[in-house]
Amino acid sequence: MEHLMTEESPSQATVQVQLEPDESAFVEPQISNGIYASAEDMLRAGLRLLAQNERLERVKELRTMIDDADRSVDAGDFREFSKPGDLTAFIVAEAKARR
């Protein structure tokens, strides 16, 4: 099955998708049973899920980084900077040392 997705709006792309037989076998009943109005609607739903999954993965990564930072602080592995510019100087020195 081949679906040609076209939209009237110039801000939306026209995409042609060639589905494998097993993909068509999944798509067709979704449309015929009224779960989705069209293949385009299914594609949009799938893209929304992919975007949501990427956001959730990023949140998971950030939580891991926060947990790592919390453990470092609990272990006393941190630096304190009391004067303006000390942090900037430290970051610059670290960057130069890594080159």
Identify any residues that bridge with 3 across adjacent strands, giving them in sequence order: 17
Q: 46 pLDDT band (50/70/90 cuts)?
A: very high
The pLDDT of residue 10: 63
State whether the Cα torsion 73-79-84-90 is positive or negative.
negative
- Residue 43: per-residue pLDDT: 94
Q: How far is CA 26 from CA 15, 39, 66, 76, in A?
A: 20, 11, 41, 55
pLDDT at 65 over 90: yes
Phi first, then psi, for residue 70 (nearest 5°) are -60, -45
Predicted pLDDT at 49: 98
Which pLDDT belongs to residue 92? Answer: 96
What average pLDDT is seen over the chain?
90
Distance of CA 40 to the CA centre of its chain: 21
Coil, helix or strand at residue 58: helix
Q: Is the pLDDT of residue 73 over 90?
A: yes
Percent of the chain exceeding pLDDT 70 equals 90
Q: Which of 55, 39, 32 is nearest to 5 (CA)?
A: 39
State how far the Cα of 71 lies from the Cα of 78, in Å rounded to an integer: 10
| pTM of the predicted protein model | 0.61
